[in-house]
Amino acid sequence: MTVNLEVAEGVGTLRLDRPPMNALNVATQDRLKELAEEAGRRDDVRAVVLYGGEKVFAAGADIKEMQPMDHTAMVLRARDLQDAFTAVARIPKPVVAAVTGYALGGGCELALCADFRIAADNAKLGQPEILLGLIPGAGGTQRLSRLIGPSKAKDLIFTGRTVRADEALTLGLVDRVVPADEVYAQAHAWAAKLAQGPAIALRAAKESIDTGLETDIETGLAVERNWFAGLFATPDRETGMRSFVEEGPGKAKFR
């Protein structure tokens, strides 16, 4: 398999496994979509880590596979490409990317689908599609602009340049930089902590934030309002408030 889903302690690790560089060919994209949807459905998965292994996250699309494709072929494929990445972005649970080595092109776009990005101190990220006479096609022009702002995104996309982990942190492209041998452990720890939280409230928070970024503030406020009121019907809300009153803040144990 080109992608695997491994579950432990409430954390599902979506592991890219297509050596040597985890090139994202069609089969990998389709498998990624399938497993992202499975992770979203499974009750034993309460948070997700995206991981490519110790040496590389994903070096991008499979250029050898793409080269013979003409306009008609890509018109037929482009939506499936985006849908695979969107499936990851829409996992209704916290998702953290553990970025090692290269995360270029589609690899960078995959990391952008996570809620949080932890990068190795030797990681390199970028959107080099312009050097092929292309633009990012798996969400890079949209998610990167929303994450770091349009002018910084244009710098990376227009030039196709690669940035090291320290610059990626300054840009806001990644959220934490750690030694390379600690990337997965720290990502798993972040996910495991959230896996102990109130699952429906976390889903509500993620959907409210993501929807608000894609629409006007009034619509975003309506989504937030509906989720906020709806959470009063959940056992986790009862547990959280009872624990706060009886024991103080931060001591609730959610089911």
pLDDT for 69-83, tens place per residue?
999 999 999 999 999
Q: What is the pLDDT of residue 255?
A: 80
Sheet with strand 102-104: strands edge to edge = 102-104, 124-126, 162-164
Q: What is the pLDDT of residue 251?
A: 87
Q: What is the pLDDT of residue 30?
A: 96
Which residues are CB-neighbours of 172 under 8 A, at least 6 positions away? Answer: 147, 148, 152
In three-state secondary structure terms, 103 is strand
What letters, b where the CB count within 10 A reaches 16 and e where it falls short, cover 219-232?
A: ebeebbeebeeebe
Q: Are 171 and 163 in contact (CB under 8 A)?
A: yes
Residue 213 token pair: 């970024």
Distance of alpha carbon 154 from its chain centroid, rounded? Answer: 21
Active site residue 182: no
Q: What is the pLDDT of residue 129?
A: 97
Active site residue 129: yes
Task: Compute the CA torsion angle 101, 104, 107, 111 (nearest 10 deg).
Answer: 80
Q: What is the tens place of the pLDDT at every residue in 103-152?
A: 999 999 999 999 999 999 999 999 999 999 999 999 999 999 999 999 99
Q: What is the pLDDT of residue 167?
A: 98
Q: What is the pLDDT of residue 80?
A: 93
Which of these is catalytic: 129, 182, 224, 246?
129
Which of these is catalytic: 37, 38, 109, 182?
109
Q: What is the pLDDT of residue 120?
A: 98
- Which residues of the chain have a pLDDT value below 50? none
